[in-house]
Structure 1
Amino acid sequence: MPKKPHPADIADRAKIATATHFNVHVRNGSFEKINREAPTLAKAAEIAAQISAQNGGKPCLIYGITPAKMTVLVPKDMIDAARSGTTPAKRQAEKAKRKAKADAPKGGKRAAILEAAQNGKMPAAPDFSAPTHARFRKKLAEIVAMAKAGDIKGLKAMKINPVSTSPKAMARYRDLCIIALNARAAY
């Protein structure tokens, strides 16, 4: 099981996402240092690789510079992702998309709705206007409110016992909302 990130690391990653530019830095001695500016993290990773190659493989540090001129050290996994052209969020979204496609029925209306959710389109809420759904309307309204608010954690925590058509429809709607919200967050 992966280690849960520290809140400070999460905050740093959020700051890096707002960076206006990046600084590549390496010290070659007591008074000698190299600093190069880059507009993107991918370009900074490229510059760091060049500098490192020219200096006998000595690793460089990359800092993100926020709009408030705050410098934040970029973690190695973000640098590696920038080198490969993907971000952790994109990789996670692609993985979720592949998994959902593998589980999806081939063709038909449900497959089209699933594909739309994988592309970030929120599904329509099920119609619970019939009297048979009356006792489930409140729970459906809670799910709809969480989906509109983008509350992925709340949707995942929502307990639904799919023993009849109403709860099955709610569970299917909730799961599609989670897929759509994750897809939106990744892009």
Structure 2
Amino acid sequence: MADIKQVVLERNLNPYHSFFSSFFAGLAELGMINQGSINIVSKRAAEYLYSYLEAKEILPDLGAVPGDTPTEVAKNLILYINKILSLVGEYDFKDAEDGMAVLMIAGNTCRICPKGVGGAEVKGTLCPIPTLIENLVNRIAQKDLLELVTSGIEKEGSTCKAYFKVLN
């Protein structure tokens, strides 16, 4: 339990973070969920989260979202989403090569990782964030602004990366 307590304190988890990550970790350890099914569930969750934001009347005014480029607009929508959901601590979203952008998350600050927070001991990734971000940003923007290029997250050291094609 000491490791869990340490993660709770270091990542500033709330009860929902702990529940969400451990729930998906348990399903993964039972062989009931993998990255592919996480992607399907995350897309569905984005629809419900959009409806929640709409019902609470806290959707951003698209005309007021700052950004001179589609990447900057997407970055600010991701900032908005993270402020509401508190998914991660440290991250960046910036232009990469070939018209793509990369979401880089400091892995030790992610609050919903089924492996890092939920303790899942499985091979591969189980990250809900890239698909959730793609679908929620597009729903809020009311157009296809991002297209996820990677099937999930790619780990480079302690950084988790997801690549998106930025659409105009």
* TM-score scaled by length of structure 2: 0.27
Select the structure of larger CA radius of gyration: 1
Q: Which protein is richer in helix relative to its size? A: 1
Larger RCO of the pair (alpha carbons < 8 Å, separation 6+): 2
Structure (1/2) with the larger strand percentage? 2
